Every structure is written in C-alpha cells, then in structure tokens.
Amino acid sequence: MSNQLSDSVLGYIKEKRAKGKWQKAMEDIFYFIEHYVPKKLFNLKLASPQQLDMLKAVMQGTRYIIIRAPRKGGKTILVAIIAVWVVLRDQTYRVFILSGSQNQAEWLYEYCADILEPDDHALAEFFSQFIVGEVAKSRTRFKLGGWIMYAPASEKQVNAPTADCIIMDEYVLIPTNIVYEAWPMIRGSTNPMRVLLSTATAGKANTESFLDMLDESSEYDFTKFEWESKDCPFLQTKVALRDANIARRILTEDMFITQYIGGNPKRAGRIFMRTQIREAFVAPDPDRPGFLKDGTPFELDPEKRISRGEAKGGIDWGFEHDTAIIMGYRELGGRLVLTRMIVDSGTSASEYGDLLMGTKEPDSEPGIAHRLNINDWFADAAGAFQNQELKNRGLRVVSRAFQHQRRGKEWMIGITQWYLRERKLIIADIDEFALLKDQMKRWRRDVKGKAKKGYDHCTDGLLCFCSGYNPTYYDTTDLHKVEAYDPRDLQVNKWSNFNSSPRQWMPGSWRDRKEELTRDPWKNK
C-alpha cells in the first residue's frame, strides 16, 4: 500500500514538473528550443547574435520581421521553429508558409516534422496530443483549430483561408504576382504577423523589392535582422572556410557576396541606400540660426554662404534635361559639405560663364566661383564647347567622360557611395536640394546592372562634384598626432652645453680622432 502511494506521489510530482516545464517553454522560446528542439536541427550555442535577437523579438511580440542572411545561414530552420512555437503557444493560431520553390516548401515541412515528430518516442507522444492525425506535407492541423500550411509559390495555393501569420521564405524567388496575391492573407487577423526572409540574390523576381524593404524597414514598420557568414560559428569551421575559399574563385563577385557572405549584391536595386541618404541630408537647426542640426555651419541665405575648406564644383550639362551645377567644400575632418545647387535650362556657355565668373563689364559683381573661392570644376565631357568656354574665362575644368572604362560613371558612383557610407557627405535638407534628394532616392540600376538614364541630372552633377575628392588622394585616417615636445628644445641658445672654442662646431664623435680624420687617403694606415 505504501509502495502504491509512493508511486502515486512520484507520478504526481513528475506530471507537475513536466507541466511546469512545458508552461515555461510556452513563455520562453529559448527554453523551448533548449528542451524541445533537436540539437541536430538548431543549437543555441552555435547561433549568431542576430539570430538570438530575432528570437527575443518574436518572444516580445514583434509582428513584422524581415531577414537577410547567406545560404545555409539557418534562416529557414529558424522560422520553422518560430512557426511551431507560435502555434503551440496559441493552438488556434494559423501560419501560412509560402516558399520560393517546391523543394524549399518540403524542407520547411521536414524541419517542422523534426520538432513535432521527434525520434524521442515519449516526446513524440507528448506532441501528438495537440495534433490532428500526423504532420502532413501540405498542412499540420491542431485540435483547437490552428494549423501550419507549407506551400510553394503558386496562384492556387495563395487562395487559402485567412491566416494569422504569413512567412515568405526566399522572398526574392517568389514571383511578384504571387507576392501581391498572398499579401492580404492576414488582413482579417486580430493578431497578424508577417515574416520575410531571403538571401539577397541578384536579378531575381523580387530582389529590388526586398532590398528596398531592407533599406526602408523602419518606414515599412518592419524590424530588420541581418547576419553574415562571419556571425555564424557553424560557418566558420575549417571545412566551411575552405569551401568558401574555393567558391570565391569560382563564383562571380555578386554571387559570392550574396550566397556565401550574406551581403547585398552590388549591382541590384537602388544605387544609393535610403538610410545613407537620410543620414546625408541634415535639417537646419531652428535653435541655432546659421547651423545644421549636426553643428555644420550653413546659412539659409545663399548670398551669405562661404567655403570653409577646399572648394570645388561639379557640372552636368543639360542637353536632354536641365543643367545641374553643384558646389561645395571639403572640411578639415574630410567631410564634403554642399553649399549651392543651381538647376537651369539650356547650355549657353556664355551665360554659365557669366554666372560663375561674372560679366565682363567693369563694375559687374563677381560670379559664384569667386564668391565661393572655387577654381576647380569637374564637368560632363559631353559639353566640350561649354567646358572650353569656362577654361577661357580662367577656370580649371576637368572633363569627366561618363563612358570611360576606368574613370567613368561607375568609378564616380563608387566615390560618392564611399562618402555616403562613411557619413562624410553633408547636404542641407532644404528646398534648394530637394530635387537632388528625390533623384538620389529614385535612382536605380536596370536589369543589366547599369545605372538608368533620365531624371538623373542632379545626381550626375553630384557624381562630378564628388569625383574631385577621390579619397585615395587624401589621408582618410585620423589627423596626424603632433608629438609631444620639450619647450626647452625651442630655445635659440642652449647655454648648458655652450662651447666657445674654435672647434665648437665639431660633432662629439669626431673628437680625439684628428690624426685618423685628417690623414691623406694614399697614406697607409
């Protein structure tokens, strides 16, 4: 009798302990992974910091998530775990997973099945109490009405019932029309969640859309998580690094960057990242007239502006559009600050010569080039006649041939991107530069990777301007430190070692060596 009572108590304690463990797992996704997800599938000890941050965001209720990661970087496994966890926590929840291919959908099913139907018989029996039947390849149904549906990108599949969460796996591979049709699936949910994840492969159906959402994630109300191969311990093994070294020699640069490193392709989407554009444009400080909010001196009155460093100008001649002239200077710290932008129709060499240098009348006011102390101009080579006219007026003009193989448009884009990336380009966020800001946001590459033409005269003017400050010609490191000195070294006369003898000029190393140093060279030693 006592043995039966003891077994009953132990069983009760075991049941309570298991119940408490499960309750904790439903509150803490990390605890769930540690105790209910097979280590062969996902190991928290090998997770990247960004992956852990994403899991924490899901646990805290983040609704909209976008993920960029390399191939085999663990993103698909991670969303499979999230899908299972959110449905187990609320078993009326409905998750629709849309994959870029049939194989991708099948892999997602396999990952979910590894969790819900593990090799551990006791654990598999435990999960079976929540599931209707078995984990199916198309849909896993839960007894309280929730489900997880796995589907490749097709028009038939996206006409499914309303879901609470939609996960788009390998987003760039999903055809645009399928994305459009699947997007409203969670519209009727009271607790919606949207997860987009992909490797940023160049040239695919939704590459540009994906890159745009990454750049503007805050505007889309998405929380962004990006990790690269260097962040993943399981991709830093000796074998993995050796494979990456081989791939670097075989794949194109873009393919290696996107597939192995996990970065963005160079020749896809917008030319200038929106986040960098937002950082470059700084609003005037309302509390400090004459300054921008970051402390940069800037007068709102164009006539009061001056150059506070090495000043130059860029010109894009408007044969098919307006002419754009951009002026600015380089600060002592290496930042480029734009001072003026003039956009006007026509390409009259004499008119623009008068604008920059002033008219030839005796009492005429000096031109903008004089007022801003700009002598070096970098101008579109297409305006050969106009450039020669400016040279004749006394300006130094360097022609920029946009089609040049080495120092053409791509070279100038690279320089401008460097200044944006390093946060060394400052543009006042005022009406004068509004057109430049709009063009920088809109400027894209075509399907062949070339910068699109049209509506780009201000950006071309900016390229010409920035090309005058090629960072390879400047020391972009910190300013040289002045070594400490002893003030006594600056004294003209040092009386402590004063010598009034005729040989006071003689170095100490020469003393007591008169015979050796004055011997005729032909004499023997």
Indicate whether 290 belongs to any domain: no
CA distance 454 to 444: 11
Residue 524 clears pLDDT 70, i.e. is over it: no
Q: What does the mean pLDDT of the chain come to?
A: 86
What is the model's pLDDT at position 9?
A: 43
DSSP secondary structure, 321-388, as one string: S-EEEEEEEE-TTS-EEEEEEEEES---HHHHHHHHH--SSTTPPP-HHHHTT--EEEEETT-HHHHH
pLDDT tier, 7 (very low <50, low <70, confident <90, very high otherwise): low
User: Which has the higher per-residue pLDDT, 337 or 257?
Assistant: 337
Q: Are residues 431 and 496 both part of a single domain?
A: no
Residue 36 clears pLDDT 60, i.e. is over it: yes
Which of 202, 237, 261 is a domain's end point? 261
**Alpha carbon 93 to chain centroid distance?**
35
Mean per-residue pLDDT, 182-196: 92
Percent of the chain surpassing pLDDT 90? 52
Q: What is the pLDDT of residues 491-521, one digit of tens each?
A: 555 556 556 666 666 677 777 777 777 777 7
In degrees and rounded to multiples of 5, residue 333 shows phi and psi of -80, 0
For the entire predicted model, the pTM comes to 0.61
What is the model's pLDDT at position 199?
A: 92
Q: Are residues 48 and 192 both part of a single domain?
A: yes
One-letter identity of residue 267: R
Entry field: residues in the chain: 525
Q: What is the pLDDT of residues 286-303, one digit of tens each?
A: 999 999 999 999 999 999
Indicate whether 285 belongs to any domain: no
Q: Are residues 14 and 117 both part of a single domain?
A: no
Indicate whether 193 belongs to any domain: yes
Indicate whether 287 belongs to any domain: no
Indicate whether 255 belongs to any domain: yes
Query: In the numeric block, which tokens belong to residue 180?
Result: 């459009």
Give whichever of 118-132, 217-231, 324-338, 491-505 has the largest mean pLDDT. Answer: 324-338
Q: What is the CATH number of the domain that holds 124?
A: 3.40.50.300
User: Which has the higher per-residue pLDDT, 348 or 268?
Assistant: 348
Query: 3-state DSSP: the chain helix, strand, coil percent, rounded to 5?
Result: 45, 15, 40
Q: Are residues 368 and 503 both part of a single domain?
A: no
Which structural domain, as residue segments, surrounds residue 514? 487-518
DSSP 284: B
SS (H, E, C) 118-187: CCCHHHHHHHHCCECCCCCCCEEEECCCCEEEEEECCCCHHHCCCCCEEEEECHHHCCHHHHHHHHHHHC
What is the model's pLDDT at position 13?
A: 45
Residue 412 clears pLDDT 70, i.e. is over it: yes
Indicate whether 462 belongs to any domain: yes
What is the model's pLDDT at position 141?
A: 92
Query: In the numeric block, which tokens belong to residue 237?
Result: 């093994």
Q: Are residues 146 and 223 both part of a single domain?
A: yes
Q: Are residues 12 and 132 both part of a single domain?
A: no
What is the model's pLDDT at position 518?
A: 78
Give whichever of 60-64, 345-349, 450-454 has the largest mean pLDDT. Answer: 60-64
Q: What is the pLDDT of residues 437-478, one digit of tens each?
A: 999 988 888 767 788 888 889 999 999 999 999 988 775 554
pLDDT tier, 4 (very low <50, low <70, confident <90, very high otherwise): low
Residue 419 clears pLDDT 80, i.e. is over it: yes
Domains held by the chain: number? 4
Which has the minimum average pLDDT: 14-18, 111-115, 245-249, 319-323?
Answer: 14-18
Residue 83 clears pLDDT 90, i.e. is over it: yes
- C-alpha distances in angstroms, 95 versus 28, 92, 117, 182, 193? 19, 10, 18, 13, 9
Mean per-residue pLDDT, 145-154: 87
Residue 156 clears pLDDT 80, i.e. is over it: no
pLDDT tier, 99 (very low <50, low <70, confident <90, very high otherwise): confident
Q: Are residues 203 and 334 both part of a single domain?
A: no
Mean per-residue pLDDT, 16-27: 79
pLDDT tier, 480 (very low <50, low <70, confident <90, very high otherwise): very low
Q: What is the pLDDT of residues 384-411, one digit of tens each?
A: 999 999 999 889 999 999 988 888 999 9
pLDDT tier, 100 (very low <50, low <70, confident <90, very high otherwise): confident
Indicate whether 267 belongs to any domain: no
Q: What is the pLDDT of residues 229-253, one digit of tens each?
A: 999 999 999 999 999 999 999 998 8
Indicate whether 96 belongs to any domain: yes
What is the model's pLDDT at position 92?
A: 95
Q: Are residues 496 and 373 both part of a single domain?
A: no
Q: Are residues 52 and 92 both part of a single domain?
A: yes
Sign of dihedral through CA atoms 102, 105, 107, 110? negative
CA distance 398 to 402: 13
Q: Are residues 136 and 227 both part of a single domain?
A: yes
Mean per-residue pLDDT, 202-208: 82
CA distance 24 to 47: 21
What is the model's pLDDT at position 278?
A: 87
Q: Are residues 323 and 244 both part of a single domain?
A: no
Asked if 264 and 275 count as a contact pair (C-beta separation under 8 A), the reply is no
pLDDT tier, 5 (very low <50, low <70, confident <90, very high otherwise): very low
User: Which has the higher per-residue pLDDT, 371 or 489?
Assistant: 371
Q: Are residues 61 and 204 both part of a single domain?
A: yes
Q: What is the CATH number of the domain that holds 418?
A: 3.30.420.280
